[in-house]
Chains A and B, each alone.
Chain A
Amino acid sequence: EPEVTQTPSHQVTQMGQEVILRCVPISNHLYFYWYRQILGQKVEFLVSFYNNEISEKSEIFDDQFSVERPDGSNFTLKIRSTKLEDSAMYFCASRGTSGRFNEQYFGPGTRLTVT
């Protein structure tokens, strides 16, 4: 069964540095999402992406965040200048448009630690 993949599994970075989290969604999916989970808290929606543009973003997704689908397979989340409070597990998800179209398939996550 196809799966969403994410790299790296764990990223440690210093405050103020830029990080790029990478995701490869399921190949025929058209909707893409980033969620994050701060330790001990809920999984929170960050952004959704469709047709090469952001379709919706939460208040968490400020100017420090950006997303891109650079080559038709990868889907990236960039944090320009990381803060301590960006430390979290970041999940990518994708969704198709036929069959079980409501279901979002999640990647294994990238644990981001900002020191």
Chain B
Amino acid sequence: GENVEQHPSTLSVQEGDSAVIKCTYSDSASNYFPWYKQELGKRPQLIIDIRSNVGEKKDQRIAVTLNKTAKHFSLHITETQPEDSAVYFCAASIGALYNFNKFYFGSGTKLNVKP
């Protein structure tokens, strides 16, 4: 089955700096890659996702890149702010309208943005 690896497990940056979190996956059939942010005591919330037919997607300070050949995808956060501090999870799935597309998650990255 699919195996998703995520690095680093913890990341500490200064406010205003950029943060990059990387994930690799093993199943070339995976085609949907969401990123979830989980603040302490709260639910995981989708912050950005990418499908395998694109290489990059951006939403304000957040971007995700995907390299299908190398089977890796990355989350980039620019101009980090203290409220970006959270645990970030990547996931991979075989996404389609009428299948069950279970998610395979990475192990999470705890991002700490120091003011």
Contact = CB atoms under 8 A, between A and B. Distances in A.
Given A45-B104, A48-B102, A102-B32, 17 more contacts: A3-B43, A33-B102, A33-B103, A35-B103, A41-B107, A42-B4, A42-B107, A43-B103, A56-B102, A91-B43, A97-B97, A97-B98, A102-B51, A102-B101, A103-B34, A103-B49, A106-B36
Contacts of B43: 3-4, 91, 106-109
Contact of B100 (A50, A103, A105): A50
B109 interface: no
Nearest to A43: B105
Contacts of B89: 43
Contacts, number: 57
Nearest to B91: A43
A87 to B, nearest CB: 18
Contact of B45 (A35, A101, A106): A106
A27 B102 CA distance: 20
20 contacts: A33-B102, A42-B4, A42-B107, A44-B105, A48-B100, A48-B102, A55-B100, A56-B100, A97-B97, A101-B95, A102-B32, A102-B34, A102-B93, A102-B95, A104-B34, A106-B44, A106-B45, A107-B43, A108-B43, A109-B43
B49 to A, nearest CB: 7
Given A43-B89, A44-B105, A109-B43, A102 B100 contact: no
Interface of B: 4, 32, 34, 36, 42-46, 49, 51, 89, 93, 95, 97-98, 100-108
Given A41-B107, A42-B108, A103 B102 contact: no
Interface string A34-61: 0100000111110010100001100000
Nearest first, the 10 closest Cβ-Cβ pairs linking A and B are: A102-B95, A43-B105, A108-B43, A48-B100, A45-B102, A106-B44, A55-B100, A102-B32, A42-B107, A106-B43
Nearest to A49: B100
